[in-house]
Amino acid sequence: MIRKLNYTDRVKIKREDIVIKLTENNGEKWFDADLSRLINYKLPPESLLFLEAYRLTNWMRFDFGRVGKITPPKDRYLKLFNTPTGIKFRVKVTAPGKIHKLLAEADAIPLIAPEEENYSNAPLLEVMPSQELGDEIYRVDFSEGTPVLLINSEMGSYKLIGRSPAFLSLALPAVFREILTKILVIDKMADDNDMEDWHCRWIRFVKLLPGTDEIANVDDVEKCLDWIQDTVGMFAKKQKLGMQFKEFWRDEL
């Protein structure tokens, strides 16, 4: 039986108040979660507590007992994921009962590897390998809410491809343009007040680019598209993408 969730008046848990670390158990990838700061939210102690690990189409749920008595499950093995890269977590606190009212939630919490102990913020753009792109080299995926840059691992090491001057100079402007179009034209977001929201983090980043004009009114699609075009040009100039491509092309001749 699928349980229904009521999202009315839910509390937004800050990502920095949840710490999830990657661990190894007999060669398997597990995780540990520090949920101690939930006490600051004064949630009913009988509330049910769940953690959900996800990446694209893979999803796992873990029962952590109740807010007043957090009980991590013995099995925290991330068995549905062949690699920990790009795994994120949701924390959900619900009222007990047949219809679970969602009392509090946090999303897009990164899984911290041991070498990333000082890492506290989700990256602006997650980069992940994919074997499902066919003849496409890359794709921007929004299926999990936040943008993810998928690179075709059938073409070689996705990390090497993603760092290559050829890929960066040709793909980055298109990726940047697609994400800004999603933010302004499709989702019609233009403020940067909530740094928990990926739209706002991107807008804050864009505002820091030198020479960027004030963001266009999201209700004026043509002006938004013009603003996006100008901003992508500023971004390419700041990153010196033209120079990178010239050097790459000269080496190929």
What does the alpha-carbon distance between residue 142 and residue 35 come to, in Å, rounded to a whole number?
A: 28
Name 253's Cβ contacts closer than 8 Å, sequence gap at least 6. none
What does the alpha-carbon distance between residue 234 and residue 209 come to, in Å, rounded to a whole number?
A: 7
125 three-class SS = coil
83 three-class SS = coil
Distances (CA, A) of 144 to 139, 140, 224: 14, 11, 25
As beta bridge partners, residue 25 has 28
Strand 100-112, strand 11-12: pairing: parallel
What does the alpha-carbon distance between residue 122 and residue 96 come to, in Å, rounded to a whole number?
A: 31
Question: Quick one: which of 17, 147, 4 has its CA closest to 91?
Answer: 17
Confidence (pLDDT) at 46: 94
Residue appearing with tokens 């398997």: 28
Question: How do the pLDDT tens digits run along the chain, 253 residues long?
Answer: 344 444 457 899 988 899 999 998 888 899 999 999 999 999 999 999 999 999 877 899 999 999 999 999 999 999 998 888 778 899 999 998 777 789 999 988 888 877 555 444 557 888 889 889 999 999 999 987 789 999 999 998 888 998 888 899 999 999 999 999 999 999 998 887 777 788 988 988 888 777 777 888 889 999 999 999 999 998 888 888 888 888 878 766 5
What does the alpha-carbon distance between residue 51 and residue 166 come to, in Å, rounded to a whole number?
A: 40
Long-range contacts (CB closer than 8 Å, 24 or more residues apart) made by 136-142: 137/161, 137/167, 137/171, 138/167, 138/171, 138/175, 140/175, 140/178, 140/179, 141/56, 142/182
pLDDT digits (tens, 9 = 90+) for 130-185: 889 999 999 999 987 789 999 999 998 888 998 888 899 999 999 999 999 999 99
What type of residue is 180? L
Question: What is the maximal distance between C-alpha atoms in the chain?
Answer: 68
What type of residue is 226? D
Q: Read off the pTM.
A: 0.60
What does the alpha-carbon distance between residue 141 and residue 216 come to, in Å, rounded to a whole number?
A: 25
Confidence (pLDDT) at 6: 46
On the CB side of 104, CA atoms within 13 Å amount to: 24
Phi then psi for 60, rounded to 5 degrees?
Answer: -135, 145
* Cα 91–chain centre separation: 15
